[in-house]
Structure 1
Amino acid sequence: MRTSRRAVLSSVGTAASIGVAGCLGGGGGSGIPDYDCDTSSSTDSVSELPRPVIGDPEADVTVAVFKDFACPHCATWELEESPTIESEYVDPGIIRYEHWDFPIPVHDTWSPGVANAARGVQDRQGDEAFFAFAKTAFEHHESYSWDIVGYAAEEAGGDPCSAIRDGESGTYEAVVSADREAGVGRGVQGTPTVFVNGEPVSAPTADAVSTAIENAR
C-alpha cells in the first residue's frame, strides 16, 4: 500500500527577500496509465547528485532557476516562459541552464515527492530525461497522483515504478533539501526565482531573463 511522505521543510525565516512574483507557501489526469507498483521495498538514500544542467555546461552565462514542482507559477514558467529561453539560448549553447529544487512546500506531498522522483530519473537516465520529466510533470501539476509521476518518468524514458518509489520514500531528500538550503542562503523566498550569473532577475518572464542574459554576455 502506498503511503504519502510528509517531509515538511522549515520556512525561509529571515532570508533576504527577492522581488519575484510566484508561490510563497501555503497552499488523475485523463489518459494516465494505472501503474500497479510494489513500492514496499526499501531504497538506499542518496545524498549527492550533480546539478541538472542543459545547454553548454561551460558557458560564460549561467541561468539558475529555483522551482517547486507543485507551484502553479513554476508551471507557467516551465510551460510558457522557459521554452523561449531554451530555443534562443539553451539549444544554441549560449547559456548553462540549471535546475534547483526549492520545495516551499506548496503541497506537503507533491512538492518534495515529485522533486525526489525527478532526481531519480536524473540519476538513472541523465539530465535530458530529468528536464523531460519536469515538463510532463508540470503539465499535470493541478492533478498530481503517483500514476502521473510514473507517467512522467515513462515519458522521459525512465521506469515508472522506480520514480514512484523514489517519490514516496524520499530517496533523494538530502539532495532536494541541500538545494533548498542553498536557495535560502541566496535569499530565495518564492518560486520560481531566476538568477543570471548569480544576480536575481526582477521577474520570472522570458523578456526579463533574456534582458539579463544579454546584459551578462
Structure 2
Amino acid sequence: MDDSSMSRRRLLLGVGTGAAALAGCLGGNDGQGGDGTDGSEPTVTSGPTPTMTDGRLPAPVLGDPEASVTLAVYEDYACPHCADYNASGFDELASEFIDSGDIRYEHRDAPIPVADPGSWQAASAAREVQARHGNAAFWAYAKKLFENHRDLRGNVRSLFERLVNDLGLDGAEAVATAGVDRAHDPTVRADRQMAGQVGIQGTPAFVINGQIVTSGFGSSTVDTVSSALDDALSESA
C-alpha cells in the first residue's frame, strides 16, 4: 500500500473514532459464563480437518497460514454486529490483506452468548462442518450462519441441516446433531477462554498478534483494523 493511501486511512480513522460509535454484543471476560445447558452458492469440496493432539480443532484460517501478522476475529454467530461485519466489512479487509496473502486471518469462537444455547450450538455446527469437510466448507457455512443469525433462537436443528444442504454438502443430520449436542464444546470453550485471557468483553473483537485493536462494528472499524494491520506489517517487514 502506498503512503498516500495510508495517510488517507489515518485521516479517516482520526475523524471516525471521534464521531462514530461502535456497536457490539457485550459479555463478561472470564471465559466461563453464559453456559446454556439446554447470491450464487459455491460448490464446496474438501477433505476432513485433522484434530490437534488434544482432540480440539485448529482455528479456521484464510490468507497465508505462515504470515508474520495474524488477525484473529472473535465472534458469536447470533451477534447482529458480527453479522453486520461479515456482510459489510469483511470483504474490504479480505481484498486488501487476505487475498494478497499478507496476513493470517483466523476465526475464533466467542459465544457471549447472544442466544443461549443457540450461540454455542451454532459454533459446534460450524466446527462439525470444518471437521467433516475442511477449511473452505467451514467459511462457507459460517457465512450462512451469520446471514441467518436471527434464527438461532428457534429450531436450530432444521436450520443447521438446511444450511448444509444449501451448500451441497453431505452429513446434514450429523452436523445438526453435533450442533444441538454441542459436540465441539472443548474447541469452542478453549477459544472463549482465550478471549477472556486477552481481555475481550464484546463481539466482534479484532486481535492482531495477540493484542486487541477494537471491539464492535461501526463505520470506523475497517479503517481502524486496516491501519493497525498496516503498522504491524511495516514492523514485521
Q: What TM-score range do you get, normalising by the shorter chain?
A: 0.7 to 0.9
| AA at the equivalent of 2:126 | A
What residue in structure 2 maps to residue 129 of structure 1? 137
- How many residues are matched? 180
Q: Kindly indicate whether residue 223 of structure 2 is the aligned counterpart of residue 207 of structure 1.
A: yes
What residue in structure 2 maps to residue 149 of structure 1? 160
Alpha-carbon distance between aligned partners in 2 of 1:54 and 1:216, rounded to the nearest angstrom: 18
Gaps of 5+ in 1: 1-18, 27-45
Q: Kindly indicate whether residue 206 of structure 2 is the aligned counterpart of residue 194 of structure 1.
A: yes
Q: Kindly indicate whether residue 102 of structure 2 is the aligned counterpart of residue 100 of structure 1.
A: no
- The question of whether the paired residues in 2 share the 8 Å contact of 1:20 and 1:193 is answered with no
- The question of whether the paired residues in 1 share the 8 Å contact of 2:109 and 2:188 is answered with yes
Q: Kindly indicate whether residue 83 of structure 2 is the aligned counterpart of residue 83 of structure 1.
A: no
Gaps of 5+ in 2: 1-20, 28-33, 35-53
DSSP 3-state at the match of 1:178: helix
Alpha-carbon distance between aligned partners in 2 of 1:113 and 1:76, rounded to the nearest angstrom: 20
Q: Kindly indicate whether residue 175 of structure 2 is the aligned counterpart of residue 159 of structure 1.
A: no
Following TM superposition, the consecutive aligned residue runs of length 4 or more in structure 1 with deviations greater than 4 angstroms are none
Q: 1:148 to 1:48 in 2, by over 3 A?
A: same
| AA at the equivalent of 1:173 | D
Deviation at 1:81, TM superposition (A): 0.7
Deviation at 1:151, TM superposition (A): 2.3
Q: Kindly indicate whether residue 193 of structure 2 is the aligned counterpart of residue 181 of structure 1.
A: yes
Alpha-carbon distance between aligned partners in 1 of 2:166 and 2:97, rounded to the nearest angstrom: 25
| AA at the equivalent of 2:171 | D
DSSP 3-state at the match of 1:136: helix
Alpha-carbon distance between aligned partners in 1 of 2:191 and 2:22, rounded to the nearest angstrom: 19
User: Deviation digits for residues 150-206 of structure 1, max 9, x if unmatched?
Assistant: 222234434211110111111101110111011101101111100112221135422
Alpha-carbon distance between aligned partners in 2 of 1:84 and 1:160, rounded to the nearest angstrom: 31
Q: Kindly indicate whether residue 4 of structure 2 is the aligned counterpart of residue 24 of structure 1.
A: no
Q: Percent identity?
A: 43
Q: 1:207 to 1:155 in 2, by over 3 A?
A: farther
CA RMSD of aligned residues (A): 1.9
User: Deviation digits for residues 43-73 of structure 1, max 9, x if unmatched?
Assistant: xxx9411111111001121100000111111
Q: Kindly indicate whether residue 59 of structure 2 is the aligned counterpart of residue 48 of structure 1.
A: no
Alpha-carbon distance between aligned partners in 1 of 2:163 and 2:68, rounded to the nearest angstrom: 32
DSSP 3-state at the match of 1:213: helix
